[in-house]
Chain A
Amino acid sequence: MNLEGLEMIAVLVVLVLFIKVLEQFGLFEPVSLEDSVEDEFELSTVCHRPEGLEQLQEQTKFSRKELQVLYRGFKNECPTGLVNEENFKQIYSQFFPQGDSGMYAAFLFNAFDTDHDGSISFEDFVAGLSVILRGTIDDRLSWAFNLYDLNKDGCITKEEMLDIMKSIYDMMGKYTYPAMREEAPREHVENFFQKMDRNKDGVVTIEEFIESCQKDENIMRSMQLFDNVI
């Protein structure tokens, strides 16, 4: 009957309220289905200190002053001493406000993170920079090869190159002149492989790469741009 139904409902409502009140007082802890993660903060912030200045000086080709400057800038952006991929992408994206530099930043991250522990420490950072800025042309070229070789198997496939190319074109953003065509990266990749792939086996190995680059004047000249970056 209506009335009894309503009475039941009334009683139920009172019961529910009662339970809620008890919960508030902490006297009645219901079984929680999942751990309440929100209450726990990350108490430990990982902090990493780099090796001493002398060791870094030995390992890299930077002078003491340059290392100091580099470290100050590094520490300013990453007070904890470690850069994770999120941070890295965010920092890198500030230089390219128009496009989307996320993919390329991810590739860079993998290239810098030589020990693949998910974060770049100052040593990794400086090691990479040392090669790029102070290394020989061959060193630089092999570093670039390492960047392109996404799965680090020693050779660049067309798919890997296409990914890289797309990420570079993405950095330009939508508003370009002339407007970016869909097939531009693919064409660029074809071009690249034509130049680099000597034996036409569809992949570019590191020897082919270095050899082809050494023959290309443009590339050689552009490699020298990195001499005065710092």
Chain B
Amino acid sequence: MAAGVAAWLPFARAAAIGWMPVANCPMPLAPTEKNKRQDELIILNVSGRRFQTWRTTLERYPDTLLGSTEKEFFFNEDTKEYFFDRDPEVFRCILNFYRTGKLHYPRYECISAYDEELAFYGILPEIIGDCCYEEYKDRKRENAERLMDDNDSENNQEGSMPSLNLRQTMWRAFENPHTSTLALVFYYVTGFFIAVSVITNVVETVPCGTVPGNKELPCGERYAVAFFCLDTACVMIFTVEYLMRLFAAPSRYRFMRSVMSIIDVVAIMPYYIGLVMTNNEDVSGAFVTLRVFRVFRIFKFSRHSQGLRILGYTLKSCASELGFLLFSLTMAIIIFATVMFYAEKGSSASKFTSIPASFWYTIVTMTTLGYGDMVPKTIAGKIFGSICSLSGVLVIALPVPVIVSNFSRIYHQNQRADKRRAQKKARLARIRVAKTGSSSAYLHSKRNGLLNAALELTGSSDDEQHISKSTSLIESQHHHLLHCLEKTTGLSYLVDDPLLSVRTSTIKNHEFIDEQLFEQNCMDNSMQNYPSTRSPSLSSNNGGSTSCCSRRNKTTTHLPNSKVPATRLQSMQELSTIHIQCSEQPSLTTSRSSLNMKSDDGLRPNCKTSHLTTAIISIPTPPALTPEGESRPPPSSPHPTMNISTTCSNVVKVSAL
């Protein structure tokens, strides 16, 4: 029962009054409405656009979202309306479905967006009305084709396919010549030989100068040996190629049945048959016929040309139109041939000797060739002849545009597929960049997290706000999740940047340590160049003691990195490090113990006011023998005697990775 007619149900029930007096038995009880609600207006707020409708309108389809109690999940108590955070344009169509019972598909809408909306509201696409159903199905089919195309090309381009055996590599090489240089070479070589073979076939028959004896000989006979050698070479190549394809084919039976392989066989068969057959007179006629088949080699070019393949595919798909063309032409030919024969029967010396003989005239006239070898002489013949030529033009002109449009559609489809593939590469590259951006954001925030922890320890609270500047709640929760995963597995994330991925993932529980270890090592190297007043804390530190340690007291020069040898410096350049400078200079007893996390108390009094700087070291600065205090943003230690060992604020380096 259509939804709109539900409104007439009271009428239908009332009309049952006609049955009552004639009924013999009592009527069943009528159903009572439990709570007879007055029909009320419902407000549906879809992304800000308000739609209003009667409740009963929505209840016409109780198995959809709006018609069932599922919509209560979207009820907003404050505004007393149902709020859906979806597309208001598509919602218009959906609401019209409830109102009129017909679901329409707007042409301007994207098919996948529309499908998603329908799925959300619980409406089956099959309900789409007849007026729009065809369009919907067409678009859906196009979309499916596109998806299949994308999947195919994805599968094709899935770079490193592990462990392909020889057969599979060969098959891949044959199907996609662009996968390896060898395949490309093979592709071009076969193409060249196909061309050579076809050209020799053609040139063979050209008369090539005279031989003493005044006889014009075709080139083929004059230089028989040369042509034979060429032919042999080509056939060798083709045979080898065919056998290799046969070997590499995943399904040999299917390969042997495919069109291209049949063409291959037909191309090389004549040669072998010719070898086998001797120059016997009776079979030489057949032999000549066989040589005609050599011209089929030209079809081998279709492996090399996509346009040819499209043409073939088009003709195949237009088979019905071609069939119709043929049929109508045959009909017309027979009719006109008969008429012309009888019209020209009377005239003397008429060429129209029989109806089949008139076929030739009809065909020539209908295709507007008009050779002129057969010409009607009587008036009737001329009249019918002219009608024949006019109708010929019409009959042939009709199916041709259909074929042309089919070809154009398929060709453009192919073009689009190629263009999409090309664009996809660029798109994927950009997506990859975005992905690395997000993972480096995670590492960024890890660093921030450490910073937070460090700041807590250093007892400064007012600088915490600086840290949590820009990470949203969702981001920070996400990062926390990733961090927990790292902790659970004991591994850590690598940023896909070779410069940063320095042996970080292998040490348990020490995500940040390696870098520090690394730095430490670097600093060790650099320490050689430094005055020995350097604190011994810079001696090598095995990473084990500083679990999750984010702080280090390094009374090092500002840029120890600058001391490191060039190669390492490269990697250092990319590091973003945060220097937490504690203003007051603690004692230099940065012993091993003090590096321990537990030793905060020792440190805390030292860093009352901490000054936070974020330094991204990007340029290798020349080794500065100047006290570090100068090269840094203003330290608060005003000690004039910039003794390295005494001036430096505590630099707590927390670096990403």
Residues of A within 8 A of B (CB): 2-3, 6-7, 9-11, 13-14, 65, 69-70, 72-74, 76-77, 91-92, 94-95, 97, 104, 107-108, 111, 125, 128-129, 132-133, 140-141, 143-144, 147-148, 161, 164-165, 168, 188, 191-192, 209, 213, 218-219, 221-223, 225-226, 228-230
Contacts and interface: CB of A to CB of B under 8 A. Distances in A.
Interface in B1-21: 1-2, 4-15, 17-21
24 contacts: A3-B380, A73-B4, A73-B7, A73-B10, A76-B4, A77-B5, A92-B12, A94-B5, A95-B8, A95-B12, A104-B18, A108-B15, A140-B17, A144-B21, A148-B21, A161-B22, A165-B22, A168-B19, A188-B22, A191-B24, A218-B25, A219-B20, A225-B30, A230-B10
Contacts of A74: 7-8
A72 B22 contact: no
A95 B5 contact: yes
Contacts of B11: 125, 129
Given A108-B15, A213-B21, A219-B21, A72 B7 contact: yes
Contacts of B38: 65
Interface string B375-406: 00011100110010000000000000000000
Interface of B: 1-2, 4-15, 17-27, 30, 32-33, 38-39, 342-343, 345-346, 378-380, 383-384, 387
Contacts of A91: 5, 8
B387 A147 contact: no
Q: Which of B14, B24, B342 has the most CB of A within 10 A?
A: B14
Given A95-B12, A221-B26, A228-B32, A10 B379 contact: yes
Contacts of B8: 73-74, 77, 91, 95
Contacts of A132: 14-15, 17
Contacts of A141: 21
Given A94-B5, A221-B26, A13 B18 contact: no
A96 B12 CA distance: 10
A194 B620 CA distance: 118
Contacts of A69: 7, 39
Given A73-B4, A222-B23, 14 more contacts: A7-B380, A10-B383, A69-B7, A73-B6, A77-B4, A94-B2, A104-B18, A129-B14, A132-B14, A141-B21, A165-B22, A168-B22, A192-B21, A192-B22
A65 B10 CA distance: 15
Contact of A144 (B7, B18, B32, B380): B18
Given A91-B5, A125-B11, A192-B22, A6 B342 contact: yes
Contacts of A165: 22
Contact of A3 (B6, B30, B378): B378
Given A218-B25, A218-B26, A226 B17 contact: yes
A128 B22 CA distance: 20
A6 B380 contact: yes
Nearest to B386: A14
A191 B21 CA distance: 12
Contacts of B2: 94
A209 B20 CA distance: 12
A interface secondary structure, majority: helix
Contacts of A3: 343, 346, 378, 380
Contacts of A129: 10-11, 14
A9 B379 CA distance: 12
Nearest to B27: A222
B18 A95 contact: no
Contact of A10 (B12, B14, B384): B384
B8 to A, nearest CB: 6
Contacts of B384: 10
A82 to B, nearest CB: 15
Given A2-B346, A129-B14, A209 B5 contact: no
Contacts of A223: 17, 20
A229 B380 contact: no
A165 B8 CA distance: 24
Contacts of B12: 92, 95
B494 to A, nearest CB: 64
A226 to B, nearest CB: 6
A226 B383 CA distance: 81
Contacts of A77: 4-5, 7-8
Given A77-B7, A91-B8, A218-B25, A133 B14 contact: yes
Nearest to A143: B17
B355 to A, nearest CB: 15
Q: Nearest 8 pairs between A and B by C-beta?
A: A73-B7, A10-B383, A222-B27, A132-B14, A222-B20, A6-B380, A95-B12, A218-B26
B338 to A, nearest CB: 12
Given A94-B1, A95-B5, A222-B23, A229 B14 contact: yes
A125 B15 CA distance: 11
